[in-house]
Structure formats: C-alpha cells, structure tokens
Amino acid sequence: MAELLAIGGGSNQQDRFALGEGEELTLGRAPRSGYAVPWDRLISREHATLRLHEGRLEVAVLPTARNPVFYQGIPSSRFWIEPGDKFAIGDTTFYFEAADQTDDGDPLVAEHVLGDDLLTSERFSNPASCLHALCKMPELIAQSRDDAHLAEQVVDLLLDTIRGASASAVMQFDDRPTDRGRAGRDGPDREGSAPTADATLMRWDCRDAAVRRFRPSRRLIAAARKRQQSVVHLWAEDSQVDENFTINNDLDWAFCTPIPVGPGEWWCLYVTGQRRFAGLREVDSPQDLIGELRTAELVARFLGSVRQVRSLEQQHQQMRQFFSPAVIERLADRSLADALEPRSGPVSVLFCDVRGFSRKVEAAADLRALLDQVSHALSAMTRGILKYEGVIADFQGDAALGFWGWPDDNPDGPLLACRTAIAIHRAFADAQRDASSPLHGFRVGIGVGHGEAIAGRIGAMEQIKVGVFGPVVNLASRLQDLTKQVGVPILLDQATADAVRQRLDGSQPEGAALRRIGRFRPPGVESAVAVYTLDASDALSPDESQAYDAAVAAIEQGDWAAASELLQGAPADDPCSCFLRDLLRDASAPPDSWDGVLSIERQGSVRFKTTSAPRPG
C-alpha cells in the first residue's frame, strides 16, 4: 500500500497516511474528512486533494488554499508525482512512498520473542533512567490533553530513557469493523497470520537525521500482535536495505511491545536503534539489549493499565447518559456483547411528550431559544428516568422513551416507572410557578404501559442502540396521546395499575392515588384497555372519590343516567369528572351496541365517539 509521509519542522510533527488506489482524499490542517496536518498553520483547513492512480499520486490544490504547494521548488496547482518524489506546503514536506514495500522475509533479520522469563532474567542496565521514566509517567498522563498528546510525550520519554534508541513510535490500532477510511485498510501479512491494521494514531520522533524517515516494520508489529508478547528484530551490520525501511546501516535492532486496551483496540510501543554502546553485534541473541528493553516493557505495561482505565471511564461516562447507576452496575458483571444481547421479558415503558410543541415551533420568533428550552425539557425527563433506575431508549424531537426490565427482569419496574412519571410531572408543574424557569410554559403528557417486549441492542447494522420493541411501546405512546383528551398528565394501563395498586402511597413525595377512567380502544390498539390516572393532587374528598368510582362503573354498565347524576357533585376543576360529564352531555343512554368501551378516532384531531364498535361475534 502506498503511503504519504508528512514531516514538519518540529519534534513530533510527523505522520503517515495510507493511500488507496482510486480513492480521493482531502489534505489539510483540519479537513472535514481526510488527512489532517494540525501542526502547520500555513496549511489551510482544506488545502489539496490526493488521488492515487496506477502507482502515481495526483495532487490538486483547492481554491480554499491560502498558500502555494511547492513541487520541485516551483508553486504548482496540479501535478503528478512518482514514488520517491516529494512536495511541500509551508514548513511541512510530504514524501510519497511506493505501495507494498515491506521488510518481510529479509534473511538477515533474526526474530526473538521476549517472554516474561527472559525479560526478568537480566537486571536493568540503567536503573536510574528506568526509575525516572516510571516516576515521569503519572505526570505525563495527568498533563496529556488527549491520546495524541500522550503518545507524543511517551515517544520523547522512550528516546530520553533507552540508551542507543534512535527512533521511537507509539501507535494505536483498531481491529473493529469500520467503513473504509484511515483505520480500515487491513490486510493479511506475508506469513498469513492475523491481520495488521494501519495505525489509526501514530506519533514518532528520532534523534538522528539519518533515520528521519524511518518506517516501522509491519512484520515486527504483526509478530508482536500475534504472540501478544514483546518481540525484537536484530539484523547484521552489513544488511543492505532501502532507506525507507527500519533496517538500514544506521540501525541494527527494533523492538515492539503490544498493549491491549479494550475489545478490538490496542496500542504498541516501537523503538529502534543501535547496539554500538554494548559492543555486541550478533543477531542470534538479544541478551545485551534486555536490560534496556525491560524499561520499555514496564512503560508499556504502565501505559496499558492507565489506558484501560481511561477507556472504561469513557465507556462509563457514555453509558451514564443513557443508563442509571443501578443498570451500569448490572452491566459491569458481564461482557458488553452479552449484556446488550436482545432478550424477551416483562418490560415497563414510559413515553413522555411536551404538549403543544408543534404550535410553539410555528409561532417561535427565536428557534434557538426554543431549542434550548426543549433541551432543558428533555433533561428533566432524563433525570427522572435515570433517578428511578430506568434506561433511555430514545429521544424523538420533544419526547423521551424510557423503560425498565433490562438487562435483567425487574419486578419493581411498574412502580419505578410510575414514580418517574410523578417526578417528571411535578418538575414541570413546579416550573409554572417560576417565570424564569426554562420549563415555564411547558406541560407534558406521560403514558406508562407494562407487558412482554424485547429489549437490548436493537437497530440497523449501520447504527446500533439500546431500545425496546413490542406492542407495549405503542400502547404507552397511545396512552400519552390520550392524556390530551382526558386532561390529565399521566395515564397507565391495567397491567401497570395492578402491579402498583398496593404500593403507591399518596402520603409519600413520590406517591399518588390510582383513579380509573374507563375502558378505551385507542387507534392502532386492537383490544380494549382499562385506563387509569395517577392523582397526586388530592382533588377529591373520600365521598367524592366514592361517587366518582361509582360513576365510572355505571358508564361501563350502560347506566348513563345514574353516572350523570353521580358526577354532578364532583368539583368543577377535577379533569377526570369534567371529561366524563362532557362525554355524557349529549346522550342520556348508550347505543344498542354498547360494550363499555370508549372508541377513539383520528379525524384531523383526536375526538371521542359515544358509540362503540359492534360487539365481537
């Protein structure tokens, strides 16, 4: 594979870019996609395009480029270069190197695997330098801004610590499947072993001008990766190999140690240099280098341990955006692949939506301010779901979907979902008393359902997310829609109500009383659903509550006259009573086909019919 080597004027201002046949890539300081050379301010954000064709490289300067590209010392806007040629932008020189050049199979190279026994058999050659390196590592890690900066600092540390080191590199690899790009050009090595990926991150530096363009040995990296141990290559002093490779007259050894840091991700330390300081030149034994290489091995292990911790912290930080601490704790007990595997079981689903959002968008003079309000609204929903150990399945514009019952069955799922619904409603209700609150002017409708569903890793092959799938999801959404007509903030299905009936205490902050509304047949739901609301307002006295329950029963039994009479004494501000009174206002008796179920139709807006569907059969 062809490569473009970029070398700037300062330390660590180096990088290698793999070039694929026929692929057009953008070169710049910070391109939206392509290859970045961030250290040179004379290179524009997007400076030129690169295209490899039949072994030659075409360079075309973009109109956005502020400074010229020099080829053979002349400013050029478009040109072709052959392997071995170079061009320059600002203070950076770019070397074009031919495809499929490796140092594989050189008969003068001796390979030695450095197991733990061999590495611990010799004393450190320079204990003071080793101790200095290990003491320096915590400081480097604490000061590093990102992986690239950490790699640069480790490169310098290796060169300063290991005697005879002429060049060193820190590389990051990613074996996970990816689209074709900088990290996706993998191929088998010459010996048919595990594939050797192109580095997704590579930082290197050198101490000698003669090896300024050294190339890490792909065969050495593959050997270390395959064996999961440190490997050293030695070669004779009279080896004659092209200067583009690690093997040349100025170098006689190279060392690589792999650093696994996570599933499919690994780093490696690579050091190359001269053995003259030890006075030994034989290639059949690396004994004279062991003391020095032990230092590199310790640095690698230190770096690997810290990088694994960082990786776990990043994963947990990402997981905390969607999972509660209780869910994260359960996920930590198993591999992520096993934990995310879809599983069937009882699941409680909560669907929460901001009321009247579409109208607010149409009337908004400042969409950015409205978006900020919606972000606060979604954050309030998220806090409620995570507080009560739920999982964020999705955000849909101004709505949030949460669920309980994954990754393990959770018998408290219905109760936790109800407490979440009450907490979210109260957060929005409290905001209406504070005009400065970002939630002021927003109200929510919440539907909660409980039933069998599949939860876990759900989605297309290109994008995977944790979600929930099943009729209960549609039911929770329909119940949320129904809150608009009933005039209450929260509606539950029968299964949820049955599960929490004896466990919701209205005297507690997260408690509320259950009130039955009736049996409904929402659009898209074939079977009738008994619907309840959570009443935390104590709007009815005990006598009024008893009369209300009797009215609901009379409606379902078809005694609408009795129901109307029972509802006359209900408070005027009780939304459930008002909803039922309005429903009965225009009819003194149910239709002949009445089966106790209220049907809902969609005709532009949702409205109710006092005539039900015919009885089945």
What pLDDT is stored for residue 373 in this prediction? 76
Do 357 and 437 fall within a single domain? yes
* pLDDT for residue 171 is more than 80: yes
User: Would 18 be classed as within a structural domain?
Assistant: yes
Q: Is the pLDDT of residue 79 over 60?
A: yes
Placement of tokens 């129904």 in the chain: 482
Q: How high is the pLDDT of residue 357?
A: 63
279-326 tens-digit pLDDT: 455 677 777 777 777 777 778 777 777 766 666 666 666 666 566 666
**Quick one: 453 and 570 in the same domain?**
no
Query: What average pLDDT score do residues 565-594 get?
Result: 83
pLDDT at 463 over 60: no
- pLDDT at position 313: 63
Instruction: Select the more confidently predicted residue: 554 or 1.
Output: 554
* Residue that terminates a domain, selected from 278, 300, 315: 315
Instruction: Supply the CATH number for residue 456's domain.
Output: 3.30.70.1230
592's CB contacts (< 8 A; 6+ apart) are none
Tell me, yes or no, whether 474 lies in a domain: yes
The verdict on 73 and 123 lying in the same domain is no
253 plus 353 within the same structural domain: no
State the average pLDDT over residues 184-201. 42
**Tens digit of pLDDT for each residue in 229-242?**
888 888 765 544 44
- Of 201-210, 242-251, 256-265, 484-493, the range with the lowest mean pLDDT is 242-251
Taking the C-alpha atoms of residue 168 and residue 207, their distance in angstroms, rounded to an integer, is: 9
pLDDT at residue 210 in the model? 56
Q: Which secondary structure element, helix H or strand E, spans residue 17, and what is its range?
A: strand 14-19
Mean pLDDT score, 335-353: 82
Domain-embedded: residue 220: yes
3-class SS of residue 421: helix
153 and 277 fall within a common domain: yes
Mean pLDDT of 436-457: 88
Least confident of 163-167, 413-417, 551-555: 163-167
Q: Quick check: 519 pLDDT over 50?
A: yes
Please give the pLDDT value at position 60. Answer: 95
**Residue 45 or residue 112, greater confidence:** 45
Q: Are residues 506 and 562 in the same domain?
A: no
Does residue 334 form part of some domain?
no
Residue 19 is assigned to a structural domain of this protein: yes
Residue 376 sits in the same domain as residue 463: yes
Q: Does residue 561 or residue 287 have the better pLDDT?
A: 561
Is the pTM here over 0.95, yes or no? no
Predicted confidence (pLDDT) at residue 497 exceeds the cutoff of 90: yes
Counting the structural domains of the chain, the total is: 4
pLDDT band at 194 (very low <50, low <70, confident <90, very high): very low
Q: What is the pLDDT of residue 118?
A: 59
Residue at a domain's end among 75, 97, 119: 97
Residue 276 and residue 149 share a domain: yes
Task: Single out the residue in 44, 77, 97 at which a domain terminates.
Answer: 97
Structure token pair of residue 163: 């005697």
Within-domain flag for 329: no
Give yes or no for residue 83 having a pLDDT over 70.
Answer: yes
At residue 27, the pLDDT reads 93
Look at residue 592 and tell me whether its pLDDT is greater than 80.
Answer: no
Q: In this structure, which amino acid lies at residue 399?
A: A
Same domain for 506 and 592? no
| DSSP run (H or E) holding 169 | strand 165-174
Q: Which range, 64-78, 203-217, 307-321, 459-473, is most confident?
A: 64-78
Q: What are phi and psi of 10, to 5 degrees?
A: -115, 175
Is 224 inside a domain boundary?
Answer: yes
More confident residue, 193 or 96: 96
Q: Which residue, among 514, 607, 594, has the nearest Cα to 560 in the 3D structure?
A: 594
Per-residue pLDDT for 366 more than 70? no
pLDDT confidence bin for 46, thresholds 50/70/90 = very high
Classify 216 in phi/psi space as left (phi over 0), alpha (psi -120 to 50) or beta.
Answer: beta
Mean pLDDT over residues 399-420, rounded? 89
Q: Specify the CATH number for the domain of residue 50.
A: 2.60.200.20
Higher-confidence residue of 594 and 67: namely 67
pLDDT on residue 105: 42
* Structural domain for 88, as ranges: 2-97
Both 481 and 509 in one domain: the answer is yes
Q: Which element (helix H / strand E) includes 257?
A: strand 253-262
- CA–CA separation, 539 vs 488, rounded Å? 12
pLDDT at residue 569 greater than cutoff 70 = yes
* Mean pLDDT of the residues in the chain: 77
What's the average model confidence in pLDDT over 70-76?
92
Higher pLDDT, 562 or 610: 562
Better-predicted residue by pLDDT, 247 or 110: 110
How many angstroms separate the Cα of 260 from the Cα of each of 5, 139, 304, 433, 451? 26, 22, 7, 54, 42
pLDDT (mean) for 413-427? 92
The confidence score (pLDDT) of residue 342 equals 83
Mean pLDDT check: name the lowest of 94-103, 268-277, 470-479, 514-523: 94-103
Q: Is residue 495 part of a domain?
A: yes
Asked if 15 and 129 sit in the same domain, the reply is: no
Q: Are residues 511 and 552 in the same domain?
A: no
Residue 441, Ramachandran bin (φ over 0: left; ψ between -120 and 50: alpha; else beta)? left
Average pLDDT score over residue span 415-438: 89
